[in-house]
Amino acid sequence: MPQTLEGFRVAALVSDRFEQVELTGPRDALREAGATVSIVSPQKQMKGMKHHDVGDTFQADVDLASASPDDFDALLLPGGVINGDSLRVNPEAQRLVKALVNDSKPVAVICHGGWLLISSGVAQGRTVTSWPTLQDDFRNAGAHWVDETVVVDGNWVSSRKPDDIPNFNREMIRVFAEEKKRQRERKAA
């Protein structure tokens, strides 16, 4: 039986020049599983990147400054060097990440999206993977970095690059479905 995420709300946090397939691949898989995915961004409109080439234009669903952690059940952090570098120094992005992590909501992160977790001070003690150039940053932040296609550490799912998206999507949906089940059990108790 396929896992359903009907009613599950995911914040996809991006800034301009994110790696397009690292948003669209997971977003489409989540939507197919029934989740609602909202693009949260400091810009109203942003461009994706297709590696080094400028990609499509995307519209934000939620302005980052007004994004409430209470409105989301999970966080998706696509990569892209420009995106990751821009978000990691954004106080509103750090605020949202810290609040979601402190509320024990699941996180799915790929490639350079991990920079925001590092700069938000929430990576310590976690086992993660990422684009290889982030390994020193993760280790310096107190995380255990490994080179694998997908890593699940509790309610965190991480991957390295676009080639990993099929495995990333599978584990992300599984972890998010477990969270949805816990939510149902808490409501029933």
Which of the residues are catalytic? 112
- Separation CA 51–CA 105 (nearest Å): 30
Tally of CA atoms within 13 A in the half-sphere of 31 that contains its CB: 10
DSSP string, 154-178: TTEEEE-SGGGHHHHHHHHHHHHHH
Residue 29 corresponds to which amino acid? A
Pairing mode, if any, of strands 53-59 and 45-50? antiparallel
Per-residue exposure over 77-116, b if at least 16 CB sit within 10 Å of its own CB, e if not: bbbbbbbbebbbebebbbebbebbbeeebbbbbbbbbbbb
